[in-house]
Structure 1
Amino acid sequence: MEFGAWHHVRCDLASARQNASAFLNGLLPENDRSQLARQNWGATWAGTGDAYCRLADLNIIKKEYDGATEAWLCALTAFEVARRLVPDDDPRRAHFSAKVEAGLQRIGLSFRHEVESAWIACGDLGEFLACYLPAGTPNSRAPAVICVSNEEEKGATLLGRLLPVVIGRGISLLVISHENTANHARGGSEIVLSHCLDHLSLRPDVDSSRIGIYGDGLSASLATDFAAYDRRIAAAVCDGGIWNRTRSLRSVDWMTSTDDGADRDMVSGLCSRPARLPNCPILVVAGGRGVVSVCEAIKLQTVCMAARIDVDLVMPQLIRGGLGEEIDNFVSSDDCIFRWLEQKLAPTPERVVG
Structure 2
Amino acid sequence: MREWIKTADISSARADTALADGNILAARSHWLRAMNYYQASAFPFGPADDGYEGAIASMRRCAANYVRHATPRGEVVQIAWPGGYPLQGYFLPTPRATGRAPAVICVAEPGQRKEEFLYKAAHYARDRGIAMLAVDLFGAEADAAFEEVVGRRDLEATVGCMMDYLVERDDIDGDGIAILADGMRSSFVARGIAFDDRYAAAVCDGGLWDLHEREFLRDRVAQHDPSLKIRPTLSRAARNIKCPVLIPAGEPGWLEPARVTELYEQLKADGRDVTLKLFTNKETAVSEGHAGGPTLANEFIFDWIESRLGLTALHGRRWDAAARRGRDA
> Do both proteins adopt the same fold according to a TM-score greater than 0.5, normalized to the shorter chain?
yes
Aligned equivalents of 1:149 and 1:166: distance in 2?
16
**Corresponding residue to 1:69 among 10, 25, 28:** 28
Q: Does structure 2 conserve the Cα–Cα contact (< 8 Å) formed by 1:144 and 1:207?
A: yes
Alignment correspondent of 2:99? 140
Q: Among 116, 133, 152, which residue is 1:184 paired with?
A: 152
* Cα distance in 2 between the residues matched to 1:234 and 1:97: 33
Identity of aligned residues (%): 24
Distance 1:192 1:236 in 2: 15
Task: Give the Cα separation in 2 of the matches to 1:201 and 1:273.
Answer: 26
Structure 2 counterpart of 1:225, one-letter code? R
SS at 2:277's partner residue? Answer: strand
Alignment of 1:314-333 (within 5 A): 314-315=278-279, 317=284, 328-329=291-292, 331-332=294-295, 333=297
Task: Determine the structure 1 residue equivalent to 2:303.
Answer: 339
1:312, 1:294 → 2: CA distance?
11
CA–CA separation in structure 2 for the residues paired with 1:326 and 1:156: 14
Summarize deviations over 1:221-242 as a string: whole Å, max 9, x none: 1121122211111111111211
Is this contact kept in 1: 2:207–2:235, CA < 8 A?
no
Displacement of 1:341 in angstroms is 2.1
Q: Structure 2 unaligned runs (5+)?
A: 140-148, 315-329
1:330, CA displacement in angstroms? 5.1
- Deviation per residue, 1:131-177 (Å, 9 max, x gap): 13132346421112222212213434555644454443332233332
Greater relative CO, 1 or 2 (CA 8 Å, sep 6+): 1
Deviates more, 1:221-230 or 1:160-169: 160-169
Counterpart position of 1:213: 179
Please state whether the residue corresponding to 2:224 is helix, strand or coil.
coil
Q: What CA distance in whole angstroms lies between the structure 2 residues aligned with 1:220 and 1:92? A: 30
Residue 254 of structure 1 and its aligned partner are, at CA, apart by 3.5
| In 2, Cα distance between equivalents of 1:222 and 1:234 | 18
CA distance 1:308–1:107, shift in 2 (3 Å): closer
Q: Secondary structure at the match of 1:311?
A: strand
**What per-residue deviation string (whole Å, max 9, x for no partner) do you get for residues 112-143 of structure 1?**
34442333234x54451321313234642111
Offset, 1:214: 1.8
Q: 1:253 to 1:308 in 2, by over 3 A?
A: closer
Instruction: Name the amino acid aligned to 2:127.
Output: G
Alignment correspondent of 2:18: 59
Contact 1:215 1:222 in 2 (8 A): no
TM-score, L = length of structure 1:
0.65
Distance 1:273 1:190, change over 3 A: closer
Q: In structure 1, which of residues 166, 169, 174 is the aligned counterpart of residue 133 of structure 2?
A: 174
Residue 50 of structure 1 and its aligned partner are, at CA, apart by 6.6
Q: Is the 1:233–1:280 contact (alpha carbons within 8 Å) kept by the matching residues of 2?
A: yes
Cα distance, 1:190 vs structure 2: 4.1
1:211 Cα deviation from its structure 2 partner: 0.9
What's 1:226 paired with?
192
Task: Letter of the 2:292 partner, please give it.
Answer: N
CA shift, 1:210, in A, is: 0.8
For 1:312, which of 267, 271, 276 is the aligned residue?
A: 276
Question: Paired residue for 1:284?
Answer: 247
- Corresponding residue for residue 232 of structure 2: 269
Figure out how many residues of one structure are paired with residues of the other and give that number. 296
Normalising by structure 2, we get a TM-score of 0.69
Task: Name 1:36's counterpart in structure 2.
Answer: none
Do 2:105 and 2:179's aligned partners in 1 also have CA atoms closer than 8 Å? yes
Indicate which of 211, 214, 217 corresponds to 1:251: 217
What is the distance in 2 between the residues matched to 1:103 and 1:327? 24
Structure 1 counterpart of 2:145: none
1:102 paired residue number: 61
Partner residue in 2 for 1:19: none
1:60-95 alpha-carbon deviations (Å, 9 max, x no partner): 23313234334544665x649x839x9845979968
CA contact (8 A) 1:53 1:75 kept: yes
Equivalent positions of 1:4-153 (< 5 A) are: 47=7, 53=12, 56-73=15-32, 79=37, 83=40, 88=44, 100-108=59-67, 110-122=69-81, 124-137=82-95, 139-153=98-112
> 1:101·1:157 contact (CA, 8 Å) conserved in 2?
no
Task: Answer yes or no: is the 8 Å Cα contact 2:183–2:290 preserved in 1.
Answer: no
The DSSP-based 3-state class of the residue aligned with 2:223 is coil
Partners of 1:199 and 1:326 in 2: CA distance = 26
